[in-house]
Amino acid sequence: MASNDLLKGMLKPIILKLLLEKGPMYGYEITQLVKEISGGDIELTFGALYPILHKLEQEGTVKTESEIINNRNRIYYSVTKKGNSTAKEKIAELEEMIKTLGIFFKPNFGLKYGYAG
Amino acid sequence: MLDKNQVQLIESDVESARITLENLSHELVDHICCEVEEQMGNGKSFEEAYTLIKKETGILVLQKIQENTLYLIDKNYARMKTTLKITGNVSLALLGMGTVLKIFHWPGASPALLLGFVLLCFIFFPSAIYLNHKEFKAKGRTALNVSILIGGIVLMIGILFKVMHWPGASFLLFTGWSIVVGVFLPVLLFVKIREVSTTKEKVVYVLGVIALMIFEAATMFKMFHWPGATFLMVIGAELLMCFFLPMYTFIRLRESGKITGQFIFIITTSMYAIALTVLLSFATSSNVIGHFVNGASNSAKILSYFEKKNKQWTVSDSLHTKTDTLVLSIAEEADKVHQLIVSIKLNLVQTVDQVDEPTARMCISNPDQIVASSNYDAGNIVLLGSGGNGLATALKQALENFRKKAVQASSSNPGLSKNIETFLSTSPVQNETGSNTWEEANFRNKLLIGTIVNLSTIEKNVRIVETLTIEDIQHKTNSPKTL
């Protein structure tokens, strides 16, 4: 299971990627999907999820729609037109980061000759 | 799938966490419902499933989520929370330090108190109210927060003015108190009644707020020396301690089944606060004032003895001194001091109690009849005035005139004249606040009853010197005859 500290900065792009691909989703759905995709390795708690969703909404990246389902209000989140490019940027940023990080964990940092240190 | 009642139960539980962000509270309800539904899908009953989920989604957890959300979306919130923590600690430290400095009469007390007060009332208090406003919502909360913000700040500034003996303290205290008693507490009552559902709880809250209003009003009455303060205070304190607190405790215990730390804290501190306020106000009236009243009546007895004794020299059948101009002029100067002191006392009593002259005269001979005997301002106004135009300067002049006469008359007796000089000294006085003029040292920021006693002491000293001087003259005149 991934630790919360490591996840912190990556949650925004992960949530945005899911919203971009799957369309409107509500909070519980997002946590379940993250769990499913990661095979249970990443557990997105609702305590971490909702503050980020509200922050994204405030920035204008996502918008909300309320619908009454099973006797209660359900809030659906979807990426706005304006947020589309921001979302793609953030996702690309994370992908770049993962690539860079990958280098660090190759044997000998992927360098052909030993690190001249 | 959950039915309407089950959803309502979850909704009311989330509501008790007082989530202000509307969407967030909907989301939390939905999220908890989904989790419960998932557990029920595994074959659990609603109760079992909800009990399990509740462990992870208690009120504190929900509030923490709102706090984290506010941190992210509201820059003011984050800033204020930090400000709150820093200013709260700093102002508390400053006030504590200022109080210690003040008690030991060390320098720096006033700046520390002043800075602590300013931080507390202009930064800590408003940010605390702002945060409270953001975190909790309820009908009438805005009125509640605005009234306590204004009333509280005015009241705190009033207390600062009172502590520093600045003019205008009474007006500020009166305004602040009126807002708290007249606006804040009624609104609080209104809000509380809306929040609770059962009649029993409503009765308890009505009782509590009314008792608090009576108690606050009593404190105000006491401070302004209006009649009826003690009666109100007893009623308010009795209601609070004997009815509200036990009933509130009972309800809270039945509600949660266990006692929380916060609850214990609230009960103990309110008990202490009430007990201390009551004890202090009674102690002030009975012990401190009583001490002064005793002093005043003792002075009056000694004074009347010397007055009688001195009279015998100047009445017609005292052959030797009737014509002695020196004795007469000393008696005349002493009487001038006496007249002036009587008029100052009358002035003081009439200033604080707003009574007619006969009543004021009666009060002077029975100081326990003075209503506002613990007033601090009247002495400053009447005796010191502004820029040395108070009556203390005239009193000093009269005292010096008398002293000059007495010293002159006893010039052949150096021991006596030296004693008179020190006994009736009007030179500046050295104390912990540095060098003070005689007027300042005797009359600045003194309890009214203390000032009355002080004036009586001065008069007593004058009469004693008068007796000593006249006896000295008498002795010299008579001695050749006895030889």
Residues of A with Cβ-Cβ distance to B26 under 8 angstroms:
66, 72-75
Tell which of A12, A64, A70, A77 to mutate to test the B interface (max B CBs under 10 Å). Answer: A70
Cβ burial, residue A3 (10 Å; 0-12/13-18/19+):
exposed
Q: Determine the Cα–Cα distance for residues B264 and B259; give it in Å rounded to an integer.
A: 7
Residue B208 inside a domain? The answer is yes
Quick one: pLDDT band at residue B205, thresholds 50, 70, 90? confident
Structure confidence by residue, pLDDT tens digits, B391-446: 888 888 898 999 988 888 888 888 888 888 888 888 888 776 667 888 888 888 78
Q: Determine the Cα–Cα distance for residues B284 and B409; give it in Å rounded to an integer.
A: 45
Q: What is the pLDDT of residue B87?
A: 87
Angle between helix B391-409 and B448-482 (nearest 10): 20
Residue B39: strand, helix, or coil:
helix
A54/B21 CB distance under 8 A: yes
Question: B75 to chain A nearest CA, in Å?
Answer: 11
Say yes or no to pLDDT of A114 above 70. Answer: no
Q: Determine the Cα–Cα distance for residues B450 and B385; give it in Å rounded to an integer.
A: 18
Structure confidence by residue, pLDDT tens digits, B107-164: 888 888 888 888 888 888 888 888 878 776 656 678 888 888 898 899 888 888 877 7
Q: Determine the Cα–Cα distance for residues B128 and B416; give it in Å rounded to an integer.
A: 67
Whether B7 contacts chain A with CB within 8 A = yes
A54/B35 CB distance under 8 A: no
Are B449 and B322 members of one domain? yes
Are B52 and B130 members of one domain? no
Residues of B with Cβ-Cβ distance to A51 under 8 angstroms:
65, 68-69, 71-73
Structure confidence by residue, pLDDT tens digits, B366-394: 877 777 777 777 788 888 877 667 888 88
Are B127 and B199 members of one domain? yes
Number of domains in chain B: 3
CB pairs under 8 A between A and B: 67
Q: Determine the Cα–Cα distance for residues B64 and B17; give it in Å rounded to an integer.
A: 10
77-106 of A, contacting B, C-beta below 8 A: none
Residues of A with Cβ-Cβ distance to B21 under 8 angstroms:
54
Long-range CB pairs of A85-91, under 8 A, 24+ apart, other chains included: A86/A59, A86/A61, A87/A13, A87/A16, A87/A17, A87/A19, A87/A20, A87/A61, A88/A20, A90/A12, A90/A13, A90/A16, A91/A13, A91/A16, A91/A17, A91/A20
B28/A28 CB distance under 8 A: no
Looking at residue A68, the DSSP 8-state letter turns out to be: E
Q: Determine the Cα–Cα distance for residues B368 and B390; give it in Å rounded to an integer.
A: 25
54-73 of B, contacting A, C-beta below 8 A: 57, 61, 64-65, 68-69, 71-73
Q: What is the pLDDT of residue A80?
A: 92
Say yes or no to pLDDT of B483 above 50. Answer: no
What mean pLDDT do residues B239-247 have? 83
Instruction: Please provide the average confidence, as pLDDT, over all residues in chain B.
Output: 81
What mean pLDDT do residues B305-326 have? 65
Q: How far, in Å, are A5, B109, B121, B149, B279 from residue B117 at the CA level?
A: 41, 12, 6, 15, 25
B69/A51 CB distance under 8 A: yes
Structure confidence by residue, pLDDT tens digits, B51-100: 888 888 888 888 888 888 888 888 888 888 888 888 888 988 988 888 88
Cβ burial, residue B414 (10 Å; 0-12/13-18/19+):
exposed
Are B436 and B323 members of one domain? yes
High-pLDDT (> 90) share of chain B, %: 2
Of B1, B21, B61, the CB nearest to A70: B1
What mean pLDDT do residues B219-243 have? 81
A12 contacts: CB under 8 Å, gap ≥ 6: A52, A56, A90
A75/B65 CB distance under 8 A: no
Question: A76 to chain B nearest CA, in Å?
Answer: 9
What mean pLDDT do residues B283-300 have? 70
Structure confidence by residue, pLDDT tens digits, A15-26: 999 999 999 999
Q: Determine the Cα–Cα distance for residues B143 and B186; give it in Å rounded to an integer.
A: 11
Residue B279 inside a domain? The answer is no
Please provide the CATH number assigned to the domain covering A4-103. 1.10.10.10
Q: How many residues does chain B have?
A: 483
Q: What is the pLDDT of residue B482?
A: 42
The count of other CB atoms within 10 Å of the CB of residue B252 is: 18
Residue from B17, B56, B52, B24 nearest B38 by CA: B52
Residues of A with Cβ-Cβ distance to B28 under 8 angstroms:
46, 50
Largest CA distance in chain A: 66
Residues of B with Cβ-Cβ distance to A50 under 8 angstroms:
24, 27-28, 65, 69
Q: Among B208, B236, B256, which residue terminates a domain?
A: B256
Are B53 and B145 members of one domain? no
Say yes or no to pLDDT of B324 above 80. Answer: no
Q: Find the closest chain B residue to A71 by CA distance.
A: B4
Q: How far, in Å, are B1, B7, B14, B136, B316 from residue B11 at the CA level?
A: 15, 6, 5, 16, 99
Are B56 and B99 members of one domain? no
Say yes or no to pLDDT of A77 above 90. Answer: yes
Are B344 and B385 members of one domain? yes
Q: What is the pLDDT of residue A104?
A: 85
Residues of B with Cβ-Cβ distance to A47 under 8 angstroms:
61, 64-65, 68
Q: Among B208, B230, B256, which residue terminates a domain?
A: B256
Domain boundaries, chain A: 4-103
> B288 or A37: whose pLDDT is higher?
A37
Check: CB of residue B155 under 8 Å from CB of residue B180.
yes
A57 contacts: CB under 8 Å, gap ≥ 6: A63, A64, A77
Looking at residue B52, the DSSP 8-state letter turns out to be: H
B27/A27 CB distance under 8 A: yes
Q: What is the pLDDT of residue B323?
A: 46
Say yes or no to pLDDT of A89 above 60. Answer: yes
Are B432 and B300 members of one domain? yes
Q: Find the closest chain B residue to A75 by CA distance.
A: B27
What is the ipTM score, two decimals? 0.86
Are B200 and B334 members of one domain? no
Q: Among B62, B93, B108, which residue terminates a domain?
A: B62
Residue B364 inside a domain? The answer is yes
Residue B76 inside a domain? The answer is no
Q: Whole-prediction pTM value?
A: 0.55
Structure confidence by residue, pLDDT tens digits, B13-46: 888 887 888 888 899 999 999 999 988 988 888 8
Q: Which of A8-22, B103-117, B157-171, B296-310 has the highest mean pLDDT?
A: A8-22
B267 contacts: CB under 8 Å, gap ≥ 6: B245, B249
Q: What is the pLDDT of residue B288?
A: 65
- Segments forming the whole domain that contains residue B360: 296-482
Q: Determine the Cα–Cα distance for residues A72 and B9; give it in Å rounded to an integer.
A: 12
2-61 of A, contacting B, C-beta below 8 A: 26-28, 46-47, 50-55, 58
